[in-house]
Structure 1
Amino acid sequence: MIEWQPIILSLKVAFVSLCFVFVLGVAAAYVMRGFEFPGKAVLEALFTLPLVLPPVVTGFLLLLLIGKQGPVGRFLSEQLQTQIIFTPYAAVLAGTVVAFPLMYQSTKAAFQSIDRSLEDAARTLGANEWRVFFTVTMPLAWHGLVSGLVLSFARALGEFGATIMVAGNIPGKTQTLPLAIYFAAESNDLTLAGSYVLIISLITFSLIYWLNIWTKSRSGSAAPRGVF
């Protein structure tokens, strides 16, 4: 019998992670596009690192950071009498970290493809930087933003390695869908594992299929123009 808690929790974790990923990814891409500073190449490499590191390594590094002996974990324990480790918040953190590079890379590519003369024209007409960003930059980059959002959500939904390191596998509390698949297969409940595999496969396939259809429908249309 399918237990729906891992499915619901995975969707919640992926959605909350996506909110953080969107804000952080857009902010980081905008800063990297518009400013030059010492150490920029190193910072960009760090932003992309979770994309190529084994998720377990990413989880181990997070464990060192938010574990009871880590700087963040110790501060939360001593000053706020709380902890992130082995809670759904840790699953959100893991999902955010591993999905961030996808949002960052998609957004950066979208920002770099924008004709800066359009932004300069908005400034010439009296728009401040915030208005330029929201009425020119963001609409022109929307195609890349949507791609980043879909891919980031799918990545956060399927996260396993980092999640098990920092959130653990606590049924009813931190057991996400990938964890439920692994432990169902380990206990030789292949029917349950197969059901979960089918569900997550259908969700991610639907997301990627929609993205491909949407991309094709947009490919022949002109880029949207900001209003300023």
Structure 2
Amino acid sequence: MGSSDSASTRSWLAPRTLLVPAVVGLLFLLLPLAALVARVQWTTFWHDITSPQALSALALSLGTGAAATGLCLVLGVPLAILIARSRSRAAAAMRALVTIPLVLPPMVGGVALLYLFGRNGWIGGPLAEAGIPLPFTTPAVVMAQTFVALPFLVLAVEGALRTTGTAFEETAAGLGASRWTILRRVTLPLAAPGLVAGVVLSFARAIGEFGATALFAGNAPGVTQTMPLAIYTAFNGAGVAPSTAVALSVLLLATALIVLVLVRGWRAGGVR
């Protein structure tokens, strides 16, 4: 009975003519990726992704991406809890503010970071006078990645907490648990599915960041040139070879697919 209901729920009840634009839309998303994979020179693929320039860009992307993800955890989890446990109007306002980097063009984000942390910025000016310049350094890469990746973690964790509600936390408080105990033993375990999904998505977004990084951190090989910047440089005729740019593009594509598989597997395990 249950399987029959499930099958009927999944049956196609919309007009069949919608299948045509649906298939076209799917192909529109998949065919460019297929064309990218088709351009890979497999005989030199391993050499391309292990060239000194490619390894430098890969190592920088992974290192700064991991650092940005850690920063997202430190800042994002408290912010997600604040939003999830605030009153509806305040929560809606904060959620809208957190969403801005998702819809903001990355280049605009880079300009905003530059005006805040640049030598003449509100924060960057005093830091520069103290001998701590931020723009066009490796920490600037981490900051740009954090700016664009933080909303993914905040929204994922906040959504998980909002779904679970506060009943378990209130019960633990009634039994005498301290606030830190409730956070460690109740709140974070309940938010675990959203937390894992947010971490994975934040990391994937961080290593794929381009626009904000280019404007705020620059494109210095070994210092701020991440994989997206190395790919852009190669296709403009400088730095690594075009074949390496294609190979790195496929590497980023593979990373995105792995991320989707991990998130889907975690959610499926949670449902069971």
What TM-score do the two structures reach when normalised by structure 2? 0.77
Is the 2:204–2:259 contact (alpha carbons within 8 Å) kept by the matching residues of 1? Answer: yes
Match of 1:226 in 2: none
Residue 88 (1) aligns with residue 88 (2) = no
Q: 1:197 aligns with which of 243, 249, 270?
A: 249
Aligned residues between the structures: 219
Long gaps (5+) in structure 2: 1-47
Secondary structure of the equivalent of 1:71? coil
Deviations 1:156-212 (A, max 9, x none): 010000000110000111100000000101117320111111222222211221221
Root-mean-square deviation (CA, aligned residues, Å) is 1.6
Same amino acid, percent of matched pairs? 37
Worse overlay, 177-186 or 195-204: 195-204
Distance in 2 (CA, whole Å) between partners of 1:41 and 1:218 is: 27
Match of 2:101 in 1: 50
Match of 1:62 in 2: 113
Worse overlay, 185-194 or 44-53: 185-194
Q: Which amino acid aligns with 2:118?
A: G
Distance in 1 (CA, whole Å) between partners of 2:170 and 2:217 is: 46
Match of 2:165 in 1: 115
Question: Which runs of structure 2 are paired with 1:162-181 in the superposition (5 Å)?
Answer: 162-181=212-231
User: Alpha-carbon deviation of 1:36?
Assistant: 3.8
Aligned CA distance change for structure 1 residues 128 and 118 (closer, same or farther; 3 Å) = same
Is the 2:219–2:225 contact (alpha carbons within 8 Å) kept by the matching residues of 1? Answer: yes
Q: Which amino acid aligns with 1:157?
A: I
Aligned CA distance change for structure 1 residues 40 and 120 (closer, same or farther; 3 Å) = closer
Distance in 1 (CA, whole Å) between partners of 2:118 and 2:178 is: 43
Distance in 2 (CA, whole Å) between partners of 1:98 and 1:193 is: 23
Residue 209 (1) aligns with residue 266 (2) = no
Q: 1:104 aligns with which of 151, 154, 162?
A: 154
Secondary structure of the equivalent of 2:120? coil
Residue 127 (1) aligns with residue 127 (2) = no
User: Alpha-carbon deviation of 1:24?
Assistant: 1.2
Long gaps (5+) in structure 1: 221-228
Residue 148 (1) aligns with residue 198 (2) = yes
Worse overlay, 63-72 or 157-166: 63-72
Distance in 1 (CA, whole Å) between partners of 2:74 and 2:177 is: 22
Is the 1:114–1:137 contact (alpha carbons within 8 Å) kept by the matching residues of 2? Answer: no
Match of 1:13 in 2: 64
Distance in 1 (CA, whole Å) between partners of 2:136 and 2:85 is: 38
